[in-house]
Structure 1
Amino acid sequence: MRVRIPTKLTLAVSIAMLCSSAAQATEGGGSNYPMGAENYLVGALPPAGVYPLIYAQHYSADDLNDDSGNSLPIDFSLDANVVAPRLLWVTDKTIFGGQFVAAALLPLVDLDVSVNGLSQSNQGVGDLDLTAALAYHHSPNLHTAVGIDLFAPIGEYDKNDLANIGRNYWAVQAVYAASWVDPTGLNADIKLMYDYNFENDDTNYKSGQEFHFDYSLGWGVTPNWTVGVGGYGYKQVTGDEVNGVDIGNKGQAFAFGPSVKYANDQGFFITMKYQKEFAVENRPEGDAFWVKAIVPF
């Protein structure tokens, strides 16, 4: 259910956000990709087949940082609960030596935002994420994947709303992922991404280009259990643009925390991760809890 902000309150919110414009790196201070979503096995695609996955996240932040990493003097809070089903299709077709993979993800979002006493809640479907990739299995331990994500702006959006689930612009993301997998030894994973954002036609705002990565590092304490750490790194490469004018506002963030994975011999696995953000500039700073599961059939 959407809670509409009256016109005068919308103006007040706009003034409050303009006063803290340094904390608006990328439009609204967010990104199409949910930072830190991936964990162990990110580069190790399963055998040919169709796999349903589920991602679940709780994110909370009550600091909005400026370009020096200091919390702005604003009464701010953000809480998001997300459940994102994903359908993964690993084919038996090869292109350039890699196994062709396709996927689609559609997040279901419950969002609450408060700024200086003004608040709004919104629930609904977010933007669609479509993936095409090639998967490589170099050895029993080393696996990689390269691909492209397309973010389609189908999520609910209104430029006068404080809590927007959709971002109202297209984005393309290049991806490279690698995993070193050892059930009774070292496990290391990284997913490198570079985003190009197109303009939001409703606001004439074009968010800057973004480089970011998810990572995990762990040890297989048994053939089924891996424990370690994980998180993400984020750096905005180019400034935002309004009506074609570069206004800067480059964001930065890092996150770190414990991570665990359980996998059985039938292809099922689940990962859980807590991550705390730090060294954040021009973005909200908070923490997140992630769960990811895949069920073969």
Structure 2
Amino acid sequence: MLRTRMNHRPAILFSTFATALIVSAAQKANADEGGVPFWFSGQYASFAAVPTTPGWSMPVQGYRYSANVSRSKQLARGNVATAGLDTTVSLIMVQPTYAPETKLWGGQLALGLGFGWGNNSADADLAISGITPELNRGDSVTGFTDLYPIASLAWNKGNNNWMTYVTGDIPTGDYDPNSLANIGIGHGAIDVGGGYTYFNQASGLEFSAVLGVTYNFENKDTGYQNGIDTHLDWAVSQFLNEHWQVGLVGYAYGQLTGDTSPIPAQNGLKSSVAAIGPELGYSFTVNGQAAYANLRGYWEFAGKNRVEGAAVFATLSIPLGSNSSK
């Protein structure tokens, strides 16, 4: 884990101005502590509900997200209040997954544990810790993410596939409540949901959607608790031939209940955002088993009480071997 910080402390005269700016902007504060929810919107796309092949697999995902908040909006990140924030997150995630041969209630069970490593950098025009203002502060951290256990159960009947899952956040990743940049989120969470995939192999048409709800536990370092979130990830695509696939992807995210915060201006706030973008997929085989690569991008819009930006996912799913002795 490596942390760096750069800042320029302002003169005493600016301290009065900075404090006034933060107070006046507080009514436009952002929900989801620091504008960072548990759910990686866009992590599900094509074939989301298709049952996993029995055996071990190793999905690998590259993720990059860049976003900003204007100077007119105050954003509390942990114990630091900011105005004019730019942030960039780059991660490599892996999720070793095991799917047993034995069916459960007629469906395919899959058990996995996600984790990753990467960098987060954040630059603020103005940052205030307590009553101390700083101009042009920049924080950066390189380290590990939280742990994300997941269990899913999926069924297939012809062109139709259904899936249900439960996942969550174990806050073991790099987190500092006094930093603008973190990789861990500083609190636990549990998320449940389900999905559907329609895939017609004859026509090459595919459609997937996954809907879920997140309950967030309190961040003990800051006394902040995000509200209950809901999220929808979707994809619609067409195979051009046996291997190549093109399509559109998107997501919608919003809070069902408001945040609970020690800061009155943030108490009860709700956030929401939507996104859309292109998708490119490639299906192939490894040792006679199906493998899949996917590249997709998202441009966010209609953001409310949170950061707004763009995300890119690059996914590779490779089977490591089957349980079958046939």
Deviations 1:6-62 (A, max 9, x none): 8x79xx8x9677735634211111111211122211111232110001111111113
Question: Normalization by structure 2: what TM-score?
Answer: 0.82
Letter in 1 for 2:292: F
Three-state SS of the structure 2 residue aligned to 1:24 is: coil
Moved more, 87-96 or 77-86: 87-96
Provide the identity percentage: 26
Deviations 1:76-131 (A, max 9, x none): 21111111011111112222222221011002121010111211001111111001
Q: How does 1:57-206 map to 2 (within 5 A)?
A: 57-64=63-70, 74-116=83-125, 117-139=136-158, 141-183=159-201, 184-206=203-225
Deviations 1:255-283 (A, max 9, x none): 00110111024311101101100000111
Letter in 2 for 1:208: G
Instruction: Choose 1 or 2 for highest CA Rg.
Output: 2
Q: How does 1:30-49 map to 2 (within 5 A)?
A: 30-49=36-55
Question: Normalization by structure 1: what TM-score?
Answer: 0.89
How many residue pairs align between the two structures?
288
Deviations 1:155-211 (A, max 9, x none): 111111111111111100002021112344211011111000010111111100100
Three-state SS of the structure 2 residue aligned to 1:93 is: coil
| Cα 1:288–1:294 shift into 2, 3 Å | same
Q: How does 1:252-271 map to 2 (within 5 A)?
A: 252-265=272-285, 266-271=289-294
For 1:165 and 1:51, locate their aligned partners in 2 and report how far apart those are by CA, in whole Å. 25
| Cα 1:4–1:49 shift into 2, 3 Å | same
Structure 2 residue 311 is the aligned partner of structure 1 residue 288: yes
For 2:39 and 2:71, locate their aligned partners in 1 and report how far apart those are by CA, in whole Å. 20
Structure 2 residue 217 is the aligned partner of structure 1 residue 208: no
The answer on whether the counterparts of 2:71 and 2:83 sit within 8 Å (CA) in structure 1 is no
Q: Structure 1: give runs of 5+ residues left out of the alignment.
A: 68-72
Equivalent residue, structure 2, for 1:26: 32
Across the aligned residues of Structure 1 and Structure 2, the Cα RMSD in angstroms comes to: 2.6
For 1:248 and 1:240, locate their aligned partners in 2 and report how far apart those are by CA, in whole Å. 5
The answer on whether the counterparts of 2:172 and 2:184 sit within 8 Å (CA) in structure 1 is yes
Three-state SS of the structure 1 residue aligned to 2:40 is: coil
